[in-house]
Amino acid sequence: MKLLLTVLAASLCFWVSGQIRTPQSTEIWKPVPPVVTPGEYTAPPSDAIVLFDGSNLDLWQNKIGNEAGWIVENGCVTVKRGTGSILTKKAFADIQLHIEWRSPEKVVGKGQGRGNSGIFLMDRYEVQILDSYENETYSNGQAASIYKEHIPLVNACKKPAEWQTYDIIFTAPRFGKSDRVVIPAYITVIHNGVLVQNHVAIWGNTNFIGAHSYKPHDAKLPLSLQNHGNPVSYRNIWIREL
Ligand code: MG
């Protein structure tokens, strides 16, 4: 009897495991991802928040909450010296960001002084914007670097006055109890269609001087664009919350 039961149990196991090895057994049907209409080339997809469409800075403000003072004309916005950086009014955590930028046509200065601006994720983690077309500087400070952290895999910069794209995928850091960072921020950057940062871990707040480290902050924070005094222009800025 015991032998019969053992044989039956083994047969059942064999039958069940056989059922698992069907094509259908590894198909997952739910949830169904929502349908999104992609934009043509770099146009925003249907579920994006358009942060700047070329017409106004209504979704932006300056550091003290007043109107953003940069110059909007000819479908783009240009840094205006002396007006500070600009921030989105809305706060974000994990995002996909598309942004187009252009170094000044007239080349002025060199190194970090040439077409410097930057995209500050959560207003603290900088993806550098710099005219890095035949412009020597420290590698971890050139265009598409995570400033003073990660050197871009390649230099995909276009010439001054040509429009360039960044497509950025960013996940915010997670802080645990006692405000220690549990999961660092991660970032992927595609510059003009070329992968330049491949899911790298961010070390902490971007600093000009000294090592980077995390300081606890809100789960969502605004995106900011740096005013470094150089007339860098932007257009077609859209973001998707992940
Ligand atoms: Mg910068």
Measure 78 CA to ligand 1 centroid, in angstroms. 15
Q: How far does residue 152's CA lie from ligand 1's centre (Å)?
A: 14
Which domains are delineated in the chain?
47-241 (2.60.120.560)
The model's pTM is: 0.89
pLDDT tens-digit series, residues 146-201:
999 999 999 999 999 999 999 999 999 999 988 899 999 999 999 999 999 999 99
What's the distance, CA 61 to chain centroid? 20
Distance in Å, CA 173 to ligand 1 centroid: 21
Alpha carbons within 13 angstroms on the beta-carbon side of residue 52 total 32
pLDDT in tens, 121-157: 999 999 999 999 999 999 999 999 999 999 999 999 9
Rounded to the nearest angstrom, the distance between the alpha carbon of 143 and the centre of ligand 1 is 9
Ligand 1 centre and the CA of 112: distance in Å?
Answer: 8
Amino acid (one-letter) located at 181: V
Ligand 1 center from residue 117 Cα (angstroms) = 4
Residue 233 makes CB contacts below 8 A (sequence gap 6+) with 76, 77, 78, 79, 101, 102, 104
CA 144 to ligand 1 centroid distance, Å = 10
Find the 120 Cα to ligand 1 centroid distance in Å.
9
CA 48–ligand 1 middle distance (angstroms): 26
Q: Can you tell me the distance from the alpha carbon of 119 to that of 40, in angstroms, rounded to the nearest whole number?
A: 24
